[in-house]
Amino acid sequence: MHNLCPIIVPRKNVNDDEVLIVKWLKSSGDCIGTGDEIVDIETTKTLFTISAECDGFLFYKIPEQSRVKVGITIAFICEDNIMPDVLTNAESHDDLTLESNPLQPSISLKAKKLMEKHGLSEQDFPDLKIVKVSDVETKISQMQHVLLNDIEEPVQTEIYEQAYAKQFEIRLLTASTEHTIPSCVSVLIDKNAVERKIASLIPQGSTHISVGEYFTFEAARVLKHFPVLNGYYRQGIARLYSNINIGFAINIEKGLKVPVIKQADEKSLTEISSLIRDFSLKYLRDELTVEDLQGGTFTITDLSLFDVTYFIPVINNMQSAILGICSPLPQNSYFNIVLTFDHQLADGMVAAKMLKELKDVVCDQ
């Protein structure tokens, strides 16, 4: 068959290796024209539609709500109304093996779904080059046997279906922790002193500046003196970012998102405040774009509104540090700020100096 046009999943986000087939807008076998919308695809950060680049007949076997690898062919547009051999010879999409890392086993989609359901990963099959459904079922049976032998009475559970964005967040943070040696330092700061400093920086009657907005503003400037906290370490190589792009974590019952303030060290306090509020509004409206969420080099997470007096933030992927802001202690106006850093780039002394400088800047001294 000639003039066979593949429909390939594009990479919309540098951190996404998988996407979700949300809805086919045409049926397999339909005659379509150039520009016709074919399928809706969901990444962890956006929803987009793939359109036809040529005229012809559309053929596919992948069902809706399937997860597929970025870069694979999910459909074909054919000149003739005949299903191509690559689809004809496959009994179902679940039998098709996706492209994978040559150092990891090749796993069919059906086997992968079963692995995810039971909390298994590639590391559970170290001696297999190809993982089939039967292999996964055998592993599940072995796990159940071990559990039943360890528990006197069976414990009933039910499957909790996590959102795709949460599952991606887990994979992303797992990848980050696999590549970092995290450590923490913290200091106590007087909230009253911080509020006096904020009041001295903005004209009377101006828009209120929150503690989180102010720390984002000052942390971006302090980071210039501590470049090892604005980079990442991979495969024996330390890399430092040229720009300071601060990600500000938002999680208001719609899943965790981290919009990024590009070149934050060059922006004014009012610009930082305005951007954080705009991002928060876009988050609530589900309007954050891939561009809004890309390019972060350092992250700030603020739990000061939730009576959290101490927590340990998790470093984001491809970063070396994250700053957490806590609530004031019950007995006084002091609150903790916590810096989690990658010991492969920095050390406790560097982290302590960074927090000391930040404390001196934000307090009314």
Other Cβ atoms closer than 10 A to 299: 22
Residue 107: the pLDDT is 67
Residue 94: the pLDDT is 45
Q: How far apart are the C-alpha atoms of 72 and 187, rounded to whole Å?
A: 48
Would you state the structure tokens that stand for residue 28, as one six-digit string? 């397999």
CA proximity to 309, closest of 337, 287, 272: 337
Q: Which domains does the chain have, with CATH numbers?
A: 4-95 (2.40.50.100), 106-161 (no CATH), 181-362 (3.30.559.10)
Residue 106: the pLDDT is 62
pTM of structure: 0.59
Would you state the structure tokens that stand for residue 205, as one six-digit string? 């009657």
Other Cβ atoms closer than 10 A to 164: 18
* Residue whose structure tokens are 């003196």: 225
Question: What are the pLDDT tens digits along the chain (365 aa)?
Answer: 456 788 888 888 767 788 888 889 999 999 999 889 999 988 877 788 899 988 889 999 888 888 888 888 888 898 888 888 777 665 544 444 333 344 455 666 677 777 877 777 777 777 776 777 888 888 887 776 655 555 455 567 777 777 777 777 777 777 777 788 999 999 999 999 999 999 988 877 677 899 999 999 999 999 999 999 999 998 889 999 999 999 999 988 778 899 999 999 999 999 999 999 999 999 999 899 989 999 999 999 999 989 999 999 999 989 999 999 999 999 899 999 999 999 999 999 999 999 999 999 998 65
